[in-house]
Amino acid sequence: MKYSFRNDYSTICHKKVLEKLIECQDEQNIGYGEDIHTINAKRLIQEKIKNKSDVYFLVGGTQTNMTVISHILKPYEAVIACESGHINVHETGAIEGKGHKVLTAYSKDGKLTKELILNILNNHTDYHMVKPKMIYISNTTEIGSFYTLAELKSIYKCAKENDLYLFLDGARLASALAASDIDYPDYAKYTDVFYIGGTKNGSYLGEAVVFNDLNLSKEFQFSIKHSGAMMAKGFVASIPFEVLMEGNLYKEIGENENKCAIYLKEELKKLGYEFYSDSNTNQIFVNVNKKCAEYIEKEYSFEKWSDIDDDFLVIRLVTSFTTTIDICKDFISYMKAYKN
């Protein structure tokens, strides 16, 4: 059986999440997120972030992005993102489907900066153009980089100075928490709304949207239902967060992912491999030639990210809550056996 480094959403869920399902299997709960598990998961998140933010549980990342953005923006308002941002590239136009333009800036490392944001603002000054009103960033980013606390603060300051909302996509927040100096309470302090990803961090589904600006969450349940994002069995989305937010499990998942990914990176470096981007999170991007890719494919799954030239390509290796150092050691052994 091939081990898959293809992504961090190949396995149903963390064992502790499944145990919780088994434990709750005979309960009868109220629908639509008004149940005690949802209330409890919300409380646990508020404790983690040390703030009485408003919390809702949605199913997936694209759904969360489109529901949050369309809830907050007026029809002619736009959201600023990196060119490589998930909402710009990999959501099949879901944000535009809700009527909003995504204004983009190119950045090699997948991160926005104050300068990039101001440049967009300077180019959008009248009613013939959309009105930029929100900044969208991801932590970790789509290419494995992460924001530092100083960077986050700088963007948040820029947002407040320019009357913009700051929305942070935490699809891979576990890995970000483990890699960066931004801790839970900072996300409450330095964003207006963010989400804590479940799907890619040990849950079978679910993203916890956290509104730090309570004006923004007003009537959000209408938008959830209007966007087709309301689960009848709301507790199915919140139960995993009861588990992940208990103790330190969520961050530990990120720590394990990062540890494994960094191990892979360091060992591959020793073997002479180069990297498409410098990542210390759970996605690493390795330059390999095509013969090598074929060799790896025999025993491991991974994603082909992009072609470099006729001979070389970038492959993405992703670690998850199922990855162990032993699995990584096996992989490195396998790579050592490869003769170019």
Q: Looking at residues 38 to 57 of the shown chain, list those that interact with a second copy (rule: CB under 8 A).
A: none
Cβ atoms < 10 Å from Cβ of 281: 26
Task: State yes or no: residue 13 binds a second copy (CB under 8 A).
Answer: yes
Cβ neighbours of 137 (radius 10 Å): 25
Q: Is 273 exposed, middle or buried (0-12, 13-18, 19+ CB in 10 A)?
A: middle
> Which one of 116, 135, 193, 224 is in contact with a second copy (CB under 8 A)?
224
Helix (H) or strand (E) holding 332: helix 325-336
How many angstroms separate the CA atoms of 34 and 271, rounded?
53
Within residues 277-316, the interface with a second copy by CB under 8 A covers 301
**Token digits for 176?**
């970000």
> Is 30 among the residues that bind a second copy (CB under 8 A)?
yes
Restricting to residues 66-85, which ones interact with a second copy according to CB under 8 A?
66-67, 70-71, 74-76, 78
Amino acid at 155: I
Residue 28 or 340: the one with the smaller Cβ distance to a second copy is 28
x/- site string to a second copy, residues 312 to 331, per CB under 8 A? ----------x---------
What's the number of CA atoms in the CB half-sphere (13 Å) around residue 247? 5
Q: Residue 319 half-sphere exposure, CB side, CA atoms within 13 Å?
A: 28
- Identified binder of a second copy from the candidate list 53, 212, 227, 319, rule CB under 8 A: 227
Under a CB-based contact definition with an 8 Å cutoff, are residues 44 and 234 in contact?
Answer: no
Among 43, 228, 291, 338, binds a second copy (CB under 8 A): 228
Q: How far is the CB of 148 from a second copy (least distance, A)?
A: 27
* Least spacing, CB of residue 240 vs a second copy, in Å: 11
Q: Which stretch binds a second copy (CB under 8 A): 6-14, 150-158, 264-272, 328-336?
A: 6-14
Q: Give me the amino acid identity at 133.
A: K
Total of chain residues touching a second copy, rule CB under 8 A: 78
287: β partners: 274, 314
Q: CB under 8 A: which stretch of 10-18, 44-52, 143-151, 287-295 binds a second copy?
A: 10-18
Of 52, 4, 65, 14, give the one whose Cα is nearest residue 198. 14
Q: Could you write out the DSSP letters of every residue in 135-200?
A: EEEESS-TTS----HHHHHHHHHHHHHTT-EEEEE-TTHHHHHHHSS--HHHHHHS-SEEEEE-TT
* Segment interacting with a second copy (CB under 8 A) among 62-70, 140-148, 158-166, 248-256: 62-70
* Interaction of residue 235 with a second copy, rule CB under 8 A: yes
Residues 238-277 binding a second copy (CB under 8 A) are: 239
Fill in the per-residue mask, 99 to 138: x = in contact with a second copy (CB under 8 A), - = not in contact: xxxx------------------------xxxxx-------
Judged by CB, which is closer to a second copy: 128, or 339?
Answer: 128
Q: Which is closer to a second copy, CB of 49 or CB of 249?
A: 249
